[in-house]
Amino acid sequence: MAELITYRDAVARGLAQEMRRDPSVHFLGEDVAAAGGVFKATKGLLEEFGPQRVRDTPISEEAILGAAMGAAMTGLKPVAEIMFSDFLATCWDLVAVEIPKTRYMTDGQVTMPLVIRTANGGGLRFGAQHSQAVENWAMAIPGLKVVAPSNPKDVIGLLAAAIRDPDPVLFFEQKSLYPSKGEVPDGEIVDELGVATTIRSGSDVTIVALASMVPRAVDAAEELEGIGISAEVIDLRCLVPLDTATVIESVKRTSRLVTVEENPRLCGWGAEIVSIVGEECFWHLDGPLTRVTTPHIPLPSADALEDEFLPSVDRIVEAVQKVVQ
């Protein structure tokens, strides 16, 4: 049977599933235990697994990741929470230099089965310093795997896959999705990293999206269908490993591509997708490769300005219409 649960509750269920299965899985972060997380995504874990495996930490991102790195090096499988993805900047040496390089520099003698969970992106009026979408930062670092689910079932399955992976994984939870709901089957759920999902089939254009942009892309595709444009929607799910095969196969059929991302336009992940498709599918294209992004400015906190800043259904529809015409 399947039940309808929130993205927020899926986080706790995914962590609990893996902690029940493997006693080496530990969880640490700011306010994750007694308070159940600032977004209430880890409620109940302290009560079930106790303070030895679910630990509140001081307000120090460097301390959190330093402790997690040491735990991973000595045989545990830590899951560390960084409350807001913006705060990865305060511990970037560990994220970009230490954690992703250890397995390589020890010739595989030391693995790094470490997951860093973090709330990412805008939509909740938290302003410029608490609303950035930074998955493109992580994508640029060799040695890191990068995951960003769009629905509760994928949260559980991809979180399980990340925890079981021997390499470090950055797991981005788009914070505006926490209250959203989706059907999740009973029993253990384990997915595979690096596999995109075709959410909606179409023949005129391929729309590639990630995290909170996926439901917006689906809404745009439904609106486009009403004006005679058939759009295929791909949920990328992971940036590293990147499932280029699914995207290329789709574009070869539709002959057009539109990427939809929350990252700023300069150096966003959509640029990499466009580059790959331009190289691999040039002779299949019937229209320009197009990116829908946020502008390259700090994110405003005012309601109307933040809504204008983020890619909307209307902007996606407009971009697709131009490509098809």
Catalogue the active-site residues.
Answer: 61, 130
The CA distance from 211 to 174, in Å, is 6
Q: Which two tokens stand for residue 122?
A: 């805008």
Query: Is the separation of the CB atoms in 277 and 253 below 8 Å?
Result: no
- Could you tell me which residues are beta bridge partners of residue 109? none
| SS3 of residue 61 by DSSP | helix
| SS3 of residue 148 by DSSP | coil
Query: Is the separation of the CB atoms in 63 and 31 below 8 Å?
Result: no
113, containing H or E segment: none
- Output 53-57 pairs: Cβ under 8 A, ≥24 positions apart: 53/19, 53/23, 53/25, 53/26, 53/27, 54/26, 54/27, 54/28, 55/26, 55/27, 55/28, 56/28, 56/29, 56/30, 56/31, 56/32, 57/28, 57/29, 57/30
Q: Which two tokens stand for residue 44?
A: 């109940």
What is the full DSSP assignment across 254-283?
H--EEEEEEEESTT-HHHHHHHHHHHHSGG
Query: Is the separation of the CB atoms in 214 and 44 below 8 Å?
Result: no
Q: Which two tokens stand for residue 262?
A: 């929350």
- Could you tell me which residues are beta bridge partners of residue 170? 116, 146
